Structures are given as C-alpha cells and as structure tokens.
A and B are shown apart, each in its own frame.
Chain A
Amino acid sequence: MNTDALFKQLEPPPGGAERFARRLDEISAARPSPRARVLAIAAASAGVALVTAVLLLRQPSDAPAVLVADTPPAVEVYDAPEFDRLLGRSAPPAELMVMVNMEAAAVTEIETTNQNVRIYQIN
C-alpha cells in the first residue's frame, strides 16, 4: 500500500476563514465590553454590600422591642450611697476610724462653715 496516503495533507472545506470571521463578529457583538463588565460587577457588588448592611443594622422584626425606660432598675440601686448626691439626699453620718502605726487613733471633728466639708484632727 502507498504509505504517502497515510500522511497526505487534505484540503479543508472552503470558506472556513470567512465563517470564522463571521463567528468572531457574532461573539464580539454579544459579548459586553470590558468597561461594561467592570461597571456591572461594581454595581452588583454595591448592591450586595447595601443589602448586607441593611440586614446587619436592622432590628429583628419578630423580637419585642425593649426600651430602657420601660425597665426600671431594681429598688436597691437607689439606696446605694453613690446615688446620694445625685438624688439630692444627705449622706448619713458615718463613724470615722483612723489607724496610726497599726493602732486606732482618736480624732476630733473641727467645725467648719461649709456643711459639705468635714475636718478632723488626729489626737
């Protein structure tokens, strides 16, 4: 058998290049430009970011709204000495104890004209 036939170069059907050119045109026309693709991607990303932000910031609709004013603090909070000045109460007198060299020392209160100031003398 003639082995030349094995690797004989066959001619492709005519018109291949013209058909290829037409297909290139069709695809190019259907394909969005790079600029349009970038804009579309940017718009989509912005949309996703907006929806995410809204979902994160929005209060859950099925949970009851809790207002701070509707939940009064426990009564004992008002009795705390820290609230005395805030609530206009006069602080109850407290016994003063002074330690000098690890021993209790006697003190004498000195009178002042300012009722908010107390002065003691260590004896």
Chain B
Amino acid sequence: MTSVDKAQWIDVYRRLEKPLYNVVYRVIWDAAESQDVVQETFLRCWRRKDDIRADGFKALLFRTALNLASNRRRSARLWRMVGVSALDDVADESASTGALSKPVRDAVEALPTMLRDVLLLTELAGMTYPEIATALGIAEGTVGSRRTRALALLRERLDVPGVVTHEY
C-alpha cells in the first residue's frame, strides 16, 4: 500500500465515519462497539479494494456495516441468553455524546429489520434511493414504500402527529 492509497482511505474514512457510525449505533446501541464495527467495515472493504467499483463503494460500505452490526447484535443476544452481558440492555450512553433516549431507541428497535435498514439509510446515511436499492438488493420503489411504512410505525409508536424527515 502506497502512502497515497493510505491517505485516500483515511480521507474517505473521515468523510463517512459519522453517517456509518450513526447507522450502526442504532442497530447495536453501543458507542465503542459501533466504532469498532465502522473500522472493521472499512478494513474489510480495503481488503477487497481491487474488486470494488467506485460507483458501488458507498452501497458496499453500508451493506457491510449493516451485516456486521447485525452479527454483533445477534452475538450479544446469545451472550445475554447465557447470562454474560456483552452489550448491556442499557446502552453506554456516556461513551457517546448526546446519545438517544430510551423511547427513541425502543421505537427504532420495534421496527422490522427490513424497514429499519431502509429508514437508517435514508435518514442517517444521506444515501439516494438508487444507492440504497443497490446496498439492500431491492427495487428503488421498494425503498420508498418501506420508508413510508417505517415512518408510519414510528409515528404510531412515538405518538406524534408527524415525523419530520428529508424530502427526496
């Protein structure tokens, strides 16, 4: 790896760390674990850098992050079942400045995974519908319908008249 390659990867990391972290955090609810998943995501993509197309990079990055986060979440649940708490029920809110309140977390947790993933990518990753469709392997129209359903469920769960989101 040349120093130019390394500098470029670190630059991309700086630009995408925050949206990736926010998406991953809302899956596993642990700041340190989330940052670790973000790093692991970048390292995995870096190992496959020769096979990655530039136009599909962002989709691959978020797809990988969601997969890794889901694996960690599943692993944490298994540990909890056997009595060892890897990710505590109460997230380490002290590690992340301005972490989310429990009602918000519960509302996101209550969403089905396929709706949650779409919502996280549309609202937090700043991705376009085509990018999300590529990342999740679904049609662009499905992205829109799932987002609408996810917002409706959240609205119902949080008991608010409307949820303000970005317009596309």
Enumerate chain B residues within 8 angstroms of A1, measured Cβ to Cβ: 103-104, 158-160
Q: Is the CB of B10 within 8 A of A12?
A: no
| Nearest CB in chain B: distance from A78 CB, A | 73
Size category of the binding interface on chain B: 35 or more
Contact of B21 among A3, A4, A12, A25 (CB under 8 A): A12
Q: Is the CB of B42 within 8 A of A10?
A: no
Interface check A118, CB cutoff 8 A: no
A23 CA / B35 CA spacing, docked (Å): 13
Given the known interface contacts A8-B100, A24-B6, A28-B1, the answer about A13 and B32 at a Cβ–Cβ threshold of 8 Å is: yes
Interface check B152, CB cutoff 8 A: no
Given the known interface contacts A4-B164, A21-B6, A24-B43, the answer about A9 and B22 at a Cβ–Cβ threshold of 8 Å is: yes
Contact of B17 among A7, A8, A12, A25 (CB under 8 A): A12
A96 CA / B67 CA spacing, docked (Å): 97
Q: Is the CB of A10 within 8 A of B100?
A: yes
| Nearest CB in chain A: distance from B49 CB, A | 11
Given the known interface contacts A1-B158, A6-B104, A10-B100, the answer about A23 and B43 at a Cβ–Cβ threshold of 8 Å is: yes
Enumerate chain A residues within 8 angstroms of B103, measured Cβ to Cβ: 1
| Nearest CB in chain A: distance from B107 CB, A | 7
Binding site for B on A (CB under 8 A): 1, 3-13, 16-17, 19-21, 23-25, 27-28
Task: List 16 additional contacts besides A10-B96, A12-B17, A17-B14; criterion CB under 8 Å.
Answer: A1-B159, A1-B160, A10-B21, A10-B22, A10-B99, A11-B18, A12-B31, A13-B35, A16-B17, A16-B35, A17-B13, A19-B39, A24-B1, A24-B6, A24-B46, A25-B6
> What are 29 A-B contacts defined by CB distance under 8 Å?
A1-B103, A3-B163, A3-B164, A4-B164, A5-B100, A6-B107, A7-B123, A7-B124, A9-B124, A10-B22, A10-B25, A10-B96, A10-B99, A11-B18, A11-B96, A12-B18, A12-B31, A12-B34, A12-B35, A12-B96, A13-B95, A16-B13, A16-B39, A20-B9, A20-B39, A20-B42, A21-B10, A24-B43, A28-B6
Binding site for A on B (CB under 8 A): 1, 6, 9-10, 13-14, 17-19, 21-22, 25, 31-32, 34-35, 38-39, 42-43, 46-47, 95-101, 103-104, 107-108, 123-124, 154, 158-160, 162-165
